[in-house]
Amino acid sequence: MTILETRRQHWPDEAACAASAERLARHDALRDAYVELHGPLGAGKTTYARHLLHALGVQGRIKSPTYTVMEPYDASLAGAALPVFHFDFYRFDDPQEWEDAGFREVFAGAGLKLAEWPEKAEELLPEPDLQITIEPGPGDERHATLAAHTARGVALLA
């Protein structure tokens, strides 16, 4: 996979993670984007997704899609409705589920797709517009690398 551009971010605490997600949420290019969240267990992938969803106007509890694989949301971007699909493929091991659960249609359709543990469904997923890799440091510290794979991804880094 080609990487067109990367950004490194240092998050001393969760507030910095939230600020990064809030900056991403201001981009119109998010509308039909596919964003992957990489990093080990407890890195902060769901936390980043939560801050992003809140910044996109989703209210209330945002649960981790670990058991359901996908959680859909009605968010908004620049005053217009934005469907968001939050995936966690950690427990995904049956390619038939990809068809049965309608994930193929979701990825072919409109809206923002976010995926944790995409490596567990690698052969089925498209190339991401943006790959966010979170490396845990001591305590609440994190290093994040944002890598753009497409022109849309480059727009998300602007």
Ligand X SMILES: Nc1ncnc2c1ncn2[C@@H]1O[C@H](COP(=O)(O)OP(=O)(O)OP(=O)(O)O)[C@@H](O)[C@H]1O
Taking only Cα atoms into account, the Rg of the chain, rounded to an integer number of angstroms, comes to 15
d(CA 134, CA 130): 13
Sequence-ordered alpha helix ranges (H) in 25-65: 45-55
The residue number whose beta carbon is nearest to ligand X equals 44
Distance CA 142, CA 154 (A): 22
Please identify, using beta-carbon distances, which residue of 29 and 37 lies nearer to ligand X: 37
Tell whether residue 51 is a contact of Mg ion (CB under 5 A).
Answer: no
CA–CA dist 93, 5 (Å, integer): 32
Q: What pairing do the DSSP bridges indicate for beta strands 142-148 and 130-136?
A: antiparallel
In the list 46, 50, 86, 87, the residue contacting Mg ion (rule: CB under 5 A) is 46
Interface ranges with ligand X (CB under 6 A): 11, 13-14, 17, 39, 41-47, 64, 116, 140, 142
Q: Select the binding partner of residue 13 from Mg ion, ligand X, none (C-beta < 5 to 8 A, by kind).
A: ligand X
Q: Which is nearer to ligand X, 13 or 127 (CB)?
A: 13
Contacts of 87 (CB under 8 A, 6+ apart): 65, 69, 70, 103, 113, 114, 115, 116, 118
Question: What phi and psi, each to the nearest 5 degrees, are found at residue 14?
Answer: -65, -25
**Per-residue contact string for residues 116-155; x = within reach of Mg ion by CB under 5 A:** x---------------------------------------
- Rule CB under 5 A: say whether 20 interacts with Mg ion: no
Give least dist CB 42 to ligand X, A: 5
- Segment interacting with Mg ion (CB under 5 A) among 14-22, 50-58, 103-111, 113-121: 113-121
Where along the sequence are the contacts to Mg ion (CB under 5 A)? 45-46, 64, 116
